[in-house]
Amino acid sequence: MNCSPFDLRDYWFEELSPEERRQVETHVAGCSGCHEEFERLRLTRQALSHLREEEMPRRIAFVSDKVFEPTRFARWWSGMPKLAFGLALVLAVFFGGVWATHPSLSVETGKWQLAFGGGSAQALAEMEARHTAQMRTVEETYELMMKQMNQLYLRQAEMAPASYRQ
């Protein structure tokens, strides 16, 4: 510890203003304890200053050198905004067209379900019942037609000449 108005280490760290430095120097000149500490710090600072800067084994590459070229990822990333903008534009045109034309789409859930094999048993039974009813109508119509044709045939036979019947 010392009784200097400012930290003696800050003097050698050059963190004091000119006025503060002057005050320290004045104090140290008249205080043996602080003078001793001040001298030891000066020797330490002086010893450190003997450490020289080393020359570089080789120079740092310049911007024009290959090492400064952007990486593949950097190049890909720099192209992303253009790609994203193009994709957004395509989507905007597509959905804009859909919105502008208002296509009328209707979906019957039961039919879609049957078409994709996911229909319910009830829907399947209803469809089979409709089919049976249609077939029954067709059969009845056929039988009626055959009956009418037979009657027509018999009536023609009654009206035919006797020589013909013989």
Partner 1 sequence: MIFREVEDRDLVLAARQGDVDAYNRLVSRWEKRVYNYLLRVVKNREDALDLSQETFLKAYRSLARLEDADRFAQWLFRIAHNEAFSQFRKERPESDAELVEPSGGRAIPVAGHAVYPLELELAVESALARLSAEQREAVVLKVFQGFKFEEIAQIQSCPVSTVKSRLYAAFELLRNVLAPVA
Residues at the interface with partner 1 (CB under 8 A) = 9, 12-15, 40-41, 43-45, 47-64, 67-68, 74
By beta-carbon proximity to partner 1, the closer residue of 54 and 139 is: 54
In angstroms, what is the minimal distance from the CB of 14 to partner 1? Answer: 8
In angstroms, what is the minimal distance from the CB of 68 to partner 1? Answer: 6
**In the 3-class helix/strand/coil scheme, how is the chain assigned residue by residue?**
CCCCCCCHHHHHCCCCCHHHHHHHHHHHHHCHHHHHHHHHHHHHHHHHCCCCCCCCCCCCCCCCCHHHCCCHHHHHHHHHHHHHHHHHHHHHHHHHHHHHHCCCCCCCHHHHHHHCCCCCHHHHHHHHHHHHHHHHHHHHHHHHHHHHHHHHHHHHHHHCCHHHHC
By beta-carbon proximity to partner 1, the closer residue of 37 and 127 is: 37
By beta-carbon proximity to partner 1, the closer residue of 25 and 65 is: 65
In angstroms, what is the minimal distance from the CB of 57 to partner 1? Answer: 6
In angstroms, what is the minimal distance from the CB of 31 to partner 1? Answer: 17
By beta-carbon proximity to partner 1, the closer residue of 54 and 108 is: 54
